[in-house]
Structure 1
């Protein structure tokens, strides 16, 4: 399995997904090796939670990222990742190579050819989708081409929602029979905060007499935080003392801070218990995305026991049922956002019912053992498709590289 992020180095939801999936596969009895980027202080190789983790140090030359153009850095990273992967597979047998997004594409192709095994690719998001169909610069168009290439070369393409299946098949011309929907999972126990931590988060972020509304995610345009900030004054008028917390970091942070009222807190990048406690302490968690392939953070908030208000876009519209497990509002509409959040904050009984039903569904429908089982079915499908016609594959355990 190849990924550009993995704990302790986390940038967004992709790293958490790969970590949870790898662990669930290992617990199910599969041999899993993850090759990823090195993080300061981390071991170059270790066995963690049953997963063999190989971390590739970046090469010495600095490749600066300017204006969002990370192609030079990504190319150099793929060289380092490839060398680490080739060392990791020496003398071992693997049945599948699984690449996560375009940042691991070149290394994945090399490893697939070296091992002579099928390639499975998970497309977590697309460059076109992130820019609402507009590819403004040369590096955006190149990333789009790499994503298209990865999808064309993969024996099976995994996506996280029906929305993403449509995007991948439409934009990259991937045949429907090579595209599989495997939804992201959530560890329900992992997102249950301790009462003391919740109380501390309330003390840190909430006012004495008003509700707490929160968001967590990468601070980029497509996450729609600007619309939450635009809706915040109307919410404050309706609920005096209301506070808003924005957790996360990213290139759009400074612009967002200029839009924010004094009672909006930018908490920075939170992980682990700090993020869980913030979610659990909130009276409403908002996901205002313009583009969202899945929206795992909405399920994480639901697992924390918090009612959610989400933009009815992409995978969010699939995983949150309006009026049952959360509330919807049209993306890019601050007035509608304020109305949806008002419905939650203004009726505690309704908010509690939403939160209870959402948490029950997270536990039933999005548990990692089930997600791992579905992923193994995709691996088996890829192996059968790549096998000679007279070869029957029957292996209950799939070594994953």
Structure 2
């Protein structure tokens, strides 16, 4: 990366505060850390990461070349979820706080998690402040590391970069404002005022935060990468192997594998669009035609079941309400005639990028930033079932349109996104503030 080193000196060390790190990958933040941290390490700057693990796990430090990972036991922090693939950028720690705080019986759990995160942040700040400060940058990921960033900025005068991956707790349509979410918002605002730079994954998220009063001059848009090893492997399959995999998955849902298959992946929360997709199904049905809409992801099973029954589409919608591991999720994308991600709030939307990378036609909701999917996906302008049904119908009924969309999507992803590029842009942001 010679251009970067000529323009600005690189930081001597990066301290990264990211509560969810491997092996405890349970959400989008963990998936980001899993891919991003090694890419950052490979650019030659020592990276020291502080992550939170369940309190039953021992504290430990792991080293891999220039990457040092400190795992600190933290009350209320979920443990690792083996082979879990939470479909896209849901960031369960934030969503979980909001949901639990909204229920009377869930008051104790979020309080334990808040107390645990406070203790985690204080411990992390103390360790960073005892370490080398000269030429170092502190990178804070989401509100869960804000207190550590604030303490390092105020007590150590260290440069801080605030990575904001989502503001789902107060920005997503229908988000409920509670005492916990109000506290999270205040913490974010305080960190935003003190941060030297704020990094977000899309232009739409930047615009939302600027409208909230955050400083536009200190905002940087750095998109995420997409390359998962299994996804790359599947994308490189021969046509014959791809057809065999598609046939295996389709046979689970369609008699003899014949018919039309629509796949959704994401939490079954209203703003992710699963409910809109269910309501769109009656408009997709044709006499004598087999149609299956498969919903991959966890959520309120009872609410989804009631909606499926109310719409009269029980024979056409499959909702397992569970996570699948990455190979199975990607295999479902490959098997689909069209993938649907009709979110009304989506800071980046990695699942859509993954499906596009696999050469599948994709329809996304109005929550996607226009530049994220570009011309490689159909972006609905509203969250209405009617518009979604029309977009899906065209993909299902017009093979030429679907094939062209798939080609443009794959080309868009490969030209625009990679973890190596994300790491380079991130390090360039750190170099701006290193001193």
Matches within 5 A, 1:345-384: 345-383=396-434
The two structures have a TM-score, normalised by structure 1, of 0.84
Tell me if the contact between 2:52 and 2:71 (Cα under 8 Å) persists in the aligned partners. Answer: yes
How far residue 60 of structure 1 moved from its aligned partner, in angstroms, is 8.1
Tell me if the contact between 1:307 and 1:355 (Cα under 8 Å) persists in the aligned partners. Answer: yes
* Residue 215, structure 1, aligned to residue 264, structure 2: yes
* Residue 294, structure 1, aligned to residue 337, structure 2: no
Q: Secondary structure at the match of 1:54?
A: strand
- Structure 2 counterpart of 1:130: 172
Tell me if the contact between 1:288 and 1:331 (Cα under 8 Å) persists in the aligned partners. Answer: no
- Structure 2 counterpart of 1:396: none
- Structure 1 portions without partners, runs of 5+: 388-401
How far residue 48 of structure 1 moved from its aligned partner, in angstroms, is 5.2
- Structure 2 counterpart of 1:255: 303
Tell me if the contact between 1:213 and 1:285 (Cα under 8 Å) persists in the aligned partners. Answer: yes
Tell me if the contact between 1:12 and 1:217 (Cα under 8 Å) persists in the aligned partners. Answer: no
* Residue 304, structure 1, aligned to residue 319, structure 2: no
For residues 171 and 39 of structure 2, the distance between their equivalents in structure 1, rounded to whole angstroms, comes to 29
Q: Secondary structure at the match of 2:293?
A: strand
- Structure 2 portions without partners, runs of 5+: 1-15, 79-95, 309-313
Question: Residues 44 and 356 from structure 1, CA distance in 2 versus in 1: closer, same or farther, beyond 3 angstroms?
Answer: farther
Question: Residues 144 and 81 from structure 1, CA distance in 2 versus in 1: closer, same or farther, beyond 3 angstroms?
Answer: closer
Question: Runs (4+) of structure 1 moved beyond 6 Å?
Answer: 40-43, 60-64
- Structure 1 counterpart of 2:209: 168
How far residue 247 of structure 1 moved from its aligned partner, in angstroms, is 1.1
Matches within 5 A, 1:229-248: 229-237=278-286, 240-248=289-297
How far residue 41 of structure 1 moved from its aligned partner, in angstroms, is 7.2
- Structure ranking higher in helix proportion: 2
- Structure 1 counterpart of 2:332: 278
How far residue 310 of structure 1 moved from its aligned partner, in angstroms, is 0.8
Question: Residues 189 and 80 from structure 1, CA distance in 2 versus in 1: closer, same or farther, beyond 3 angstroms?
Answer: closer
Q: Which moved more, 1:325-334 or 1:53-62?
A: 53-62
Tell me if the contact between 1:121 and 1:151 (Cα under 8 Å) persists in the aligned partners. Answer: yes
For residues 2 and 96 of structure 1, the distance between their equivalents in structure 2, rounded to whole angstroms, comes to 11
How far residue 359 of structure 1 moved from its aligned partner, in angstroms, is 1.1
CA deviation digits over 1:215-245, x for unaligned, max 9? Answer: 1112222112100011122223378211111
How far residue 111 of structure 1 moved from its aligned partner, in angstroms, is 4.2
For residues 367 and 268 of structure 2, the distance between their equivalents in structure 1, rounded to whole angstroms, comes to 18
Tell me if the contact between 1:188 and 1:362 (Cα under 8 Å) persists in the aligned partners. Answer: no
1:102 to 118, 135, 143: 143
CA deviation digits over 1:302-349, x for unaligned, max 9? Answer: 11221100113342x22223xx41212233200110110111111222
For residues 257 and 50 of structure 1, the distance between their equivalents in structure 2, rounded to whole angstroms, comes to 49
For residues 49 and 164 of structure 2, the distance between their equivalents in structure 1, rounded to whole angstroms, comes to 17
- Structure 2 counterpart of 1:390: none
1:337 to 388, 405, 412: 388
Q: Secondary structure at the match of 1:96?
A: strand
Q: Secondary structure at the match of 1:121?
A: strand
CA deviation digits over 1:77-127, x for unaligned, max 9? Answer: 231354256457755557111111112211332344565421111112223
Tell me if the contact between 1:125 and 1:293 (Cα under 8 Å) persists in the aligned partners. Answer: yes
Matches within 5 A, 1:38-57: 38=53, 44-47=60-63, 51-57=67-73
Q: Secondary structure at the match of 2:382?
A: coil
Tell me if the contact between 1:36 and 1:55 (Cα under 8 Å) persists in the aligned partners. Answer: yes
* Residue 157, structure 1, aligned to residue 180, structure 2: no
1:74 to 114, 118, 139: 114
* Residue 228, structure 1, aligned to residue 277, structure 2: yes
- Structure 1 counterpart of 2:22: 7
For residues 12 and 61 of structure 1, the distance between their equivalents in structure 2, rounded to whole angstroms, comes to 12
The two structures have a TM-score, normalised by structure 2, of 0.78
* Residue 83, structure 1, aligned to residue 117, structure 2: no
Q: Secondary structure at the match of 1:57?
A: strand
Question: Residues 47 and 319 from structure 1, CA distance in 2 versus in 1: closer, same or farther, beyond 3 angstroms?
Answer: same
CA deviation digits over 1:340-394, x for unaligned, max 9? Answer: 01111112222122112211221111111111111111111222xxx4xxxxxxx
For residues 419 and 288 of structure 2, the distance between their equivalents in structure 1, rounded to whole angstroms, comes to 38
Q: How many residues align?
A: 378
- Structure 1 counterpart of 2:162: 121
CA RMSD, 1 decimal? 2.9
Tell me if the contact between 1:23 and 1:49 (Cα under 8 Å) persists in the aligned partners. Answer: no
